[in-house]
Every structure is written in structure tokens, then in C-alpha cells.
Structure 1
Amino acid sequence: MIASVTRGDRTRGILAYVYGPGDEDEHTDQHTVAAFEPLLFDPGLAADPERALTRLAKILDLRVVQAGKGAPKDHVWHCSLRTAPEDRQLSDQEWEQIARRVMHAAGIAPAGDPDGCRWVVVRHAEDHVHIVATTVRADLTGARLHNDWQRVMAELTLIERDYGLRQVERAASGKRTARTTVKRPTRAEIHKARLQGRPEPSRAVLRTAVRESLAGAASEDEFLGRLAGHGVQVKVHRLPSGDAKGYSFHLPGDRKTDGQPLWYSGSSLGPDLTLPKIRTRLSITADEPFPAIAQDRSARPALQQAGRLADQALDSFTAPAPGEEESEQEVWRVRAAGFGEVLDAFAQTHRGSQRAQIAAAAKAYGQAAYLHERAADQEMRALRSMARTVLAGGPSHGALDGDAIAAFLDVLILIAVVLHRSHRAAGHTQQARIARVTADQLRAAYAQAAVRPLAVLKAQGERLPPTVRDQATEAVHQVLPAALAGRVLGGKDWPALAATLTQAGQLGHSPAALLQQALGSREMDSADNPTAVLLWRIRRTADLPAPATAKKPAKPKLATPSAPASAPRPATAPTPPATRRR
């Protein structure tokens, strides 16, 4: 359950909003769920709502007026509570119980306290309610609201458990932390997109465009140029000094009810998409030239190079981060943010049959917002370089780049799995869930991409002479721990790995040395298929050519026998004369 707590000084104004139609007519059944005492009227159902709202505001403000100068300036406490999309629909009675627990925790209306503040709970949708309270008690003292946010968060954790709702990640210390997931589209935005025949709301379209434009960009000009390519308009907000202070983004054709263009600030798209956060990322690789990748109608060289960079990054992912605990957390935030850029770069360059799954993986991962400072620039530089390498390679296609696509997806899956396990161990439930969904989408893409290249390699491995295959088996036993060797040799892809080791040996490489290098310092428990992990990493390390289907021998053409030169030409029968009619 998500909560938002704000303070204000206009009781009538906030009541007009919670009982009104909403900014985009999204409030359809606004009604009172409960109040500090039974109300004789419901503004949501009153014949004259304006008069009823004014009357209710006066009732809630009574203690504020009586307290006079002793009343706090921002005397309105407003809390909205929203369940997750997958949660069941709560009844009005359940919402009342939840609201009372929240107000007890906050200090607005402690249970059993006759001098508690005045309040009202309003519901105008299936999934959320609003609590509006004034913060002067009946004894004309102010409500004890110190640390109200922390106490509300702690109570919501218990409420989620008691009502069987989705458990939302919260800081263990109880401190208010920066938002780590993007803002969900409102019901009004979803409804508007349906009316306009668009698959998703403008906010989601803009978020994807901004993320893809930022992926691997080395300057603001490059970033803004890519945005223009997405058809997104940008407005720069400036300080009196002329310096930029923020961006707003507009999707052409998206307008407010009054016909004016609808602009979204970077912070409304994601807490990691503000101007300062964008500039922090850009500055890390500002001095890095665009990679020069040799291309021959194929993105394969770029994907192979990006795969090698991913291997290096993964080795650092699995190694303990140096320094204090906070430094370790910063390094992991940077790794997670950089991984998102790699996914965004791959999603916008891939053109193969796996495009939908890769785009879905990038979109799913984009629901997390990883905020970081400058403590781990080297980590981010490596990952942003990987994204730039993918972009430099241009569009990738299954026909020409099949093995490189499968190999790159394989290492991306490993990174997603490592991030999932790390988040889960740290208690970051939302980020762990997002990483798991991302890994699942990448697995679906890999399952398609790997079919053809693995089939070719398996066929080659199955044709190896027994003595040659025994040499590959011996290399595995020589290098890998016994348990891992058993998993590799018993895996369905073992013939393909045997073919790879044999091919590498024929090109002058040592199969045992390649296995040792592929294993590196990583633990293989994170791998669903360690045989495939070793196979693809060895092919990248040894720079092996794409597996080619064995050519079938050409069928001999049947020669048409010709008559000997001395053979007499067969006689032609004479044409009978035409019969004359008499």
C-alpha cells in the first residue's frame, strides 16, 4: 500500500478536490467512508455540494478557529492511501479500519482519546481513499505529529500483512527515503490513452523515450538529438541567471482539457530523470568517443564486444565490493542503473524476432529508479560504455547475428539474476521483483535466439569422433570442480560445448585455459544452464566465427547421353499425301 502525506492551510480547498470530479474526471463514486463523528450529510451526495463543502470545512476547522494564534499555520493533514493493482478490492468498512489505524499511528486520532483531531475519510475509487484532518485537538493543543511519516510507514507494513496486501519495500530504519520506483499512470491517464487509441499513456511513452535517448549518450546535445528522433519535444526551464534548472517533455498531440499542450517534468517521469541526475550520468562518459565498430551488414562485432564488457562487469558484480557498507550500496545502485542503460540500448537496436521480449525486459526494468551519486563512476563508465557499444553496432538481426544475440542475452540474464538475488538478500522487495520479471523476459528472448546456433553446434558436437570428444571431456574434468563438471557434462548443451572447445583447439587455443578463463572468479550457482554460460563466454573470448551449417555435397548432374557423331540420322517417315475428296 502506498501512502502520500502532505500539509496545507486550506481545508475547503482539499475537500473540494477529494469530493470533486478530479483533475481529469477520474473521481466517479466519491463518498464519505467515515468521520470523527457521524455526519448528518455527505457532501458527495448533497443536493448542493458547494454549500455542503463549506459547512464541512467549518466543522473541521472549529478547533483551529478556537485555538487562534496557537494553531499551526499548515493545519491540514492530508493522507492518501492506495492499494496495488493486484490487490483485492477493499470494502468501505475495511478502509475505515485501515484509516483509523493510520491516524492512530500518526497521532491524529489515537484510539480511545476523546480529544483527538477532527477528520473525514473520503473514497472516490476502488483502490484508494483520502484522509483529511485538521491538526488541533479538542483541548486546543497541536497534534503530536513528530515522525508521523515513519510511524505511518511502520503501520502500513503491518496493515499489508493483516489484510493480505502486497508487501511494499520500506527502509528498515524507518527514514523517509527517495522514491525508488516510477510513478504509475493514473486512472485518468489510462482512460485518456484508451480514448485516443494509444496502447499506453503519454507518461509511459515519454519515460521510454527519455530512457532510450539517455542510454549511452555522452552529451546533452546527443541526448536531445535522440529525443528529437523519438518525436519528443523538450522545454528547458532556466534560472534568472540563464542556467538550465530542469527539463519538461511533450508528446505532440497530447493536450489538456483546455487544449493546451501537456508537459511532463523529468521528475514526474522518474526520480532518476531529473536534470541533475541526467547530467550526472552524461558527465561520466563525456570524454568517451563513440566506439568504432567494424560492420559488415551485421551487428555481430558490436554484440561480441559488448558481451566481453558484460563478462568483465559480471565478474565485478559477483566480487565483494570494497569499502564501508554505504559504499557497497552505492556501487550496487550504480550497477543496477548501468544495467538499465544496456537494456534500453539493446531494446532500441534489436530488430529480430525477439524484439518484443527484449523491449518488455527493458520496460519492466525501467519501473525501478536507481539514484546514485559519484561514488562509483568507474562502475557506471564500464556499463555506459557497453550501452554505447551496442548502439554503435546498429540494428541486430537474427539471421546474421544469431549466435552473438544469444550469447549477449545469456550474459544479460546472468546479470539480472545476480541483481535479483542481491536485492532479495538486502530486503529490497520491489527491486527484486522487477529484476526477476526482467530475467524472465530475457530468458524468453534467449529461448528463441539460441535455437538455431545451438542446433548447429550440437550437430557438430555429435559428429565428433569419440577420441576428440574425450579430449573435451578431459579438459572439463581438469578445470571444473567435480559437482560443476557433472552439471556441464550432463547438460543438454554439452555436445555444443564440446564442438566449441574442439573448434577453439583447432585454432590454436588451449581448451583447458579457455575453460579456466571462462570460469573466472564467478560462482556458477546463479546460472540456469552453466554449460551454455561457458559455451558463449568461450566463443567470445576466443573470437570464434559464427557456427555455420555444414554444406551438403552437391548432387551430381545427370549427363544427357548424346548420339555419336557418326551415327546416321534416323529416317523420317514420309508424309502421306492428302486424300482428295471426290
Structure 2
Amino acid sequence: MIGKISRGSRPGDIGRYLHGEGHLGEHVYRDEQGRERSGGVVIGGNLAREGDTDERGWAADLRLAAQGRPDSQRPIWHASLRCAPGDRTLTDAEWRGAVQEIAQRMGWAEHPHVIVRHADDHVHVVMSRVDYEGRIWVGKNDARRLQEARQSVEKRLGLRQVPMRTAKRGPEAAEGRLKPGEYRHSEQTGKDPARVRLAERVERCVQAAEGMGRDVFEEALQRAGVRYEANVASTGRVSGYRFAMTTDQAGEPVWFKASQLDRSLSWNRVRERVETIEPVRVEPVVAEPKKFLESRASHAQRVEAAQQATEQAQAKAVAAKRAQRLEKAAPPRNLGQQIRARAGAQQRAEAYRERVAERREWLSHVGRIREVREPEGGWKSMRQIDKATRQRMVAQKRTGASAPVRKNAPAPTLSDYQARQRQQREALRQARRGLSR
């Protein structure tokens, strides 16, 4: 489970986003009949707003609670909770239980809050840090406390254990903590980000070199196609590594420190796994006892030959184990796996392009209903259409008929205006219904 926190002072703004359609129409929920609806739906909280599909009710409740402490800054606390890729779909009841456990552990269970669900994999929690009695929840170290709480939820629900963020606000680790740009690029191209692929290769090399020494680790990196540079002090002690697998436009390698890939790949942890040498045991060659009338020199020669044979068998066993481990470090050559991986990547990219095309088609339909001119590259958001509509209305007022003509023109009746509004609303409703199908 992945959590993200933000704070603000206007619950209506976050509510309009949560119950809106999203930038690419990704905000959907299923009604009681199992049909997909655009936006979000309230599934829990302590405001008795379950089933609401707009923010007006619960935003007013949170606004009222926040007014109890006018001196508070950013009294609205917002967190998004998303299941990790590969997790099962949680029910509404399981999400309510998860949020309740997190609220109890963080200390804001009695504060006004709502739970809004989007799709099948994530929910949003909006909470007033000020309760109805004027008490304020400070929320110190809330990001860290949220991580500890959601790990407890993951264990209870049997979900994937997502690594915790480090205390240092540096580059984020690859596993489960992608940057937004990396996530969007991965979704558009259908390929894992470079940091994720590099982290997987380095981890495979570490597994291959466990108990074999640092030289095997470096040879495994070479076989896996990973460049490396060791940070060696003047005393000869290695303090860390940096890795590269891709190059930039100038042809220079793009280096990543181990902390930028995953905290488990730091040299302090890798050294414990690699430099703890595991002995390879072989059956020793034992010389026969000294024979009768055999000279001491002859017996000593036979004992020395047995020791050399044991050492040779030991060396062969070590070489065989080394070759077997290094074979694991090389990139997989299974053609079937590569074909399936490439097909999955293409399917993800095609699905993304289809969603974008459907979104643009729906926006174009809305623009035609509003009778606004579509730009050359097509509409990108409803905000752009709203702006163009306002500009058209202002232009019509400026270039309208003269005063005598407007004075003599018949005024539209209230029923005509209401009929026109109903017609526009019905057209938008049909467009959304067609998109959801």
C-alpha cells in the first residue's frame, strides 16, 4: 500500500477534484448496479455521507469544523492510499477498516473525515485537523506515522509489504516509490523505468555473489551488462558503489548510487551477504596407511599426492559453483518470457492510448455541444473548454447587436432558457454514459 499526504485550507477544491473525472477520465466508481460512473463516491467516514457523489455536503462539514480554530494554518489534511501493483481488490468494508486502523494509530479517529473511492485500487481520505470542540491535531511526523500504520494494515490484510521511505529526503528508491514522471513514462511506453530495471539487475548480481566474495560480485555485474565504480578510500576500504546501465544523449553513462535504487543495495548490507564466504565442502582424498617395509619417503609422497588431489577437487567445486552463480547473474535468455513481457508492455501502452483517445473524443463532443471552436491540437481538459466558453460569451457581449435592435428583439422566456439548459445537461449525460460503456 502506497500513501501520499498533502495539506490545504479549502475542502471544496480537493472535493471537486475527487468527485471530478480526473485529468484523463481516470476517476470512476461502480454504483449499486455495477455500472461505471465518472467521478468518486463516498464510502465511509464519520460524517454519515456514504453514497455522496459530490463534495457540497461533506466539504461544508469540514469547513464548519475548521472555523473552530481560525488561527490554524492549512487545517485540511488529505491522504491518498493506493494498493501496490499485484495486490487484490479490497472491498469498501476492508477500505473502511484500513482507514479506521490508520486513524486510530495516528490519533485522528474522532476528527471529521470522509473516505472517497476511485476505481478499484485506491481511496482518498480528507480530514479536518480541527474537531468540533476546537481541538487541533498537530500531525507531527505524519508521513512516517502513516507508513508505520499502513504496514500494519498490509500485514493484517495480506497485501504486499511496500518498503518504507528513508528519513533522508533524497532521491526515491525504485521499488514502489517511483517519481510521478517515471510512472507516467512507464505507463505511456509500457516499459519499466531505468532505475527499476537497474535495481533488478544489481539485486540479481548480489544473489549470485552471496557467500562468494567481492570479485564474484563485480564479475556478475559485468556479465549482467551493468557498469560499476567502487568508492575506495586511501586505506583500501570500499565505502560504496555506483551503477549505470544506460547513457544520456551525449553518450555518457547515467550513474545511480545504491541509495537511489534501493536501500537494501547499500554496500553495508550487500557486504554482509557477499563477503561472508561460504566454504565449499568436498570429500577429502585419504591416503592408504603406511605399508609394511614401505619407506617413509614413499609414504610421505603418497600423503602429499592425496592432499593435492583434495585441493584440486576443492578448486574444481569452487569453480563450478562460481560458474553456476555467474550464469544466474546474466540477463535471462528465455525467449518465451521476453515475448510475453514485450506483449504485456505493448498492451499497457495500447490501453493508455485508448484511454487518451476516448478522453479526447469526449472532450470534442462537449466542445461541439457548447459551440466553441476546437483548437488545432484538440481539447486537453474541461478547464480549457470552460475558458473558451467564457471567452465566447464575453466576445458575444462585446460584438452583440446595437441597443435599438436588442431593445426591439423579443426577450427569451424563462421556459425557453430552462429547456435549453436541460438539453445541454442531457447531451452531457449521454456523452458520459457512452464513455463509461
TM-score (norm 1): 0.36
Quick check: which one's strand share is greater? 2
Q: Which has the higher contact order (CA 8 A, sep 6+)?
A: 2
